[in-house]
Amino acid sequence: MARDLSYNAVMARRGEIMKKALGLEYDEFIQSDIAFDYEGMMEKTGYSPEEVRQIQQQSGVGNTPLLELKNITELVRKTSKKGYGARILLKDEAANPSGSFKDRRASVSVYHAKKLGYPGVLAATSGNYGAAVASQANMANLGCIVVQEVFDSRHVGQPEIIEKSRKCEAYGAEVIQLTVGPELFYVSLILLEETGYFNASLYSPFAISGVETLGYELVEQTRARYGKDPAYVVVTHAGGGNVTGTARGVRKAGAKSKIIGASVDLTGLHMASDHDFNRKSFTTGHTGFGVPFATWPDRADVPRNAARPLRYLDRYVLVTQGEVFYVTEALAQVEGLERGPAGNTSLAAAIALARELPEDEIVVVQETEYTGAGKHPQAQLDFAKRNGVKVIRDEPKQNVPGKVIAIPEHFSQLTFTEVDLDRMRTSYVRNAVTRSKVAKVTQEEVKFLAEDTNSSADFVVSVLETLGVQA
């Protein structure tokens, strides 16, 4: 009998499809519609930090350099009050096989797929992760499919996404290119069911455990070289896996460094909007992912998302598109390092954050990524202009997402906007109770919500009271 491939029928089968494609029984961790055993789920991956390191060493992942940005640090100190301006270090993840930290996520997922006997792996992503999965799949002699949102309805693609498509194809992956909209998850489910491939989801425990080595390494390297831990670890924040995995690794190394997420401010642009799709100059590390995934992580392609950034964020800051373009040029021309835009999002934030700290403190920017023709500021800015976005040299506050990109005129103009984490925590609690349609929350669920938002039971109860939900 032929499969029913209608949208509603495929969505109705999604639980069954995802379970078969991951080989992970999520039901044993779910405690209620709201709560689940997060740490139990993470431990269920079956790989200790030492085992993850061994897996990654086999495929050339990890042990990336930690670089001191001496010239940028000097510029920070010249634009800070006397005695301030922390040393800025950069974890150069571009040294991984496919050129980004996503190799860490892909390595464990592909290893697990091979171990369980899957014939191949599938990843739904428009970013670097597709290239990482393809690269790791090649080493494991597995098939690979990458499903990407590439075009708007005019079939015009954003340069950075097209560059990433090229990268995936270079590794021999079968790339399925889609227009923006609801098709991504639907098409991925059909392909998983049809091929019997492993779902190399960005949001599985396997993927997140692979990122933990990044946090662990940067603490080890900082201690070995400087005899102290970083005061701040600044992490580009999109879907939350980067923040979650890095923070877990930092904590496992015993460091108490503040975990600060950084995103490009694209407020007002909708990521699923055909109109807005090509009016953003960044395909990752922006608020279009950072805010919704933080306030409701379980919008992912797995039953329970292992990437839960509110558990770990001490602060969340925003920078503008123009600031990231400026810092991309500065990194190349001042430090001699040409790297892609995602890591430069957190670098832009780190420059402003370093001014808060004395000179003897350390700020670590925890990743870089490879660059390519479509990722260059020149390509991005030209594309922005062709889509009606005005590009000017002015203060960052003149930036208007989708309308104006304001590139700073001077290093001293680099700054950030602080996000109210309590407001995001409130949104998360609201989403949890409204999506679960509950009128009463148990003590166990209050405890879970407090842990999942890095808050307190009193905070959760106060939010529930404003929603008219009994605790």
pLDDT (tens digit, 9 = 90+) per residue, 378-407? Answer: 999 999 999 999 999 999 999 999 999 999
> Residue 134: which pLDDT band, with cuts at 50, 70 and 90?
very high
Q: Does domain 59-98+209-418 match CATH 3.40.50.1100?
A: yes
What is the pTM assigned to this prediction?
A: 0.96
Please give the Cα distance from 22 to 302 (Å, whole number). Answer: 9
pLDDT tops 80 at residue 1: no
Are 314 and 258 a contacting pair, CB within 8 Å? yes
Structural domain spans, the chain: 59-98+209-418, 421-466
pLDDT (tens digit, 9 = 90+) per residue, 154-176? Answer: 999 989 999 999 999 999 999 99
- Say which range, 1-10, 109-118, 380-389, 442-451, has the weakest mean pLDDT: 1-10
pLDDT confidence of residue 191: 96
> Residue 127: which pLDDT band, with cuts at 50, 70 and 90?
confident
Output 221 or 270, whichever has higher pLDDT.
Answer: 221
Distant-in-sequence, close-in-space partners of 143: CB < 8 Å, separation ≥ 6:
119, 120, 121, 137, 174, 195, 197
